[in-house]
Amino acid sequence: MTMRPSASLFFCCLLLTTSAFAQQKLPVKQFTAGMYVIQAEIASTEAQRELGLMNRKQMGSNEGMMFIFDRPAAVCMWMKNTLLPLSVAFIDSSGVILNIEEMAPLTDTNHCAVKAAEYALEMNAEWFKRKNIKPGSKIELLK
């Protein structure tokens, strides 16, 4: 006789797996924007980029997430299941900010790069504005 797992057991295992995935530790790298140092988690796989900053309740003042895409492309971001208001800077392959968009939490509105972008850096809302970082500014990796 074979036993079939109950639906509640399956749901419990699925919930634990999803929760563990959502809490995975991503690599962190330091970047500069002007005189400011940013600690950014790196989302470089499709799964990491899809999860992004979803379900986070807080983020440090100079912390963010750098999304790295496979190649320059028409990139858009949205705020599904994202609790924090965020700013996103779309960045070209040389590190120059193309445009910056403010994103309201828990919305499905697309925020898109004005040209092909290879990176997108999400920070707390209005971070770029408060630091006077604008399109044309450069984001650099600290080595």
Closest CA to 56 of 87, 85, 78, 97: 85
What residues does each domain of the chain span? Answer: 27-141
- Architecture of the domain spanning 27-141: Sandwich (2.60)
Among 130, 125, 136, which residue's Cα sits nearest to residue 36? 130
pLDDT higher than 70, residue 84: yes
Q: What local confidence, expressed as pLDDT, does residue 51 receive?
A: 95
**From CA 32, how far away is CA 74, in angstroms rounded?**
24
Q: If you average pLDDT over residues 78-96, what whole number do you get?
A: 97
Secondary structure (3-state) at 83: coil
What 8-state DSSP symbol labels residue 105?
Answer: T
- For the entire predicted model, the pTM comes to 0.83
Identify the band that residue 25 occupies on the pLDDT scale cut at 50, 70 and 90. Answer: confident
Can you list the alpha helix ranges (DSSP code H) found in 23-57? 46-51
Q: What is the mean pLDDT of residues 50-76?
A: 96
